[in-house]
Amino acid sequence: MRSFRPDPVPERDLRKILEAASWAPSAGNCQPLELVVVRDPRVKEELKEAAFGQPFLEEAPVLVVVCADVERTTSRYGSRGELFYVQDTAAATQNLLLAATSLGYGTCWVGAFVEEEVSRALRLPRGVRPLAIVPIGRSAESPEAPPRRPLEEMVHWDRY
Alpha carbons within 13 angstroms on the beta-carbon side of residue 80 total 4
- The model's pTM is 0.95
- Which whole-number Å values give the CA distances from 44 to 77, 80, 96, in the listed order? 34, 33, 19
At residue 57, the pLDDT reads 97
- Identify which of 64, 50, 55 has the alpha carbon closest to the alpha carbon of residue 118: 50
- Identify which of 86, 82, 62, 65 has the alpha carbon closest to the alpha carbon of residue 74: 82
Alpha carbons within 13 angstroms on the beta-carbon side of residue 52 total 5
Which domains are delineated in the chain? 11-140 (3.40.109.10)
At residue 144, the pLDDT reads 86
The amino acid at residue 63 is L
| 3-class secondary structure, 11 | helix
From first to last of the 160 residues of the chain, give the pLDDT tens digit.
899 999 999 999 999 999 999 999 999 999 999 999 999 999 999 999 999 999 999 999 999 999 999 999 999 999 999 999 999 999 999 999 999 999 999 999 999 999 999 999 999 999 999 999 999 999 998 888 889 999 999 999 999 9
At residue 143, the pLDDT reads 81
E-state strands within 15-153: 33-38, 62-69, 106-107, 128-137
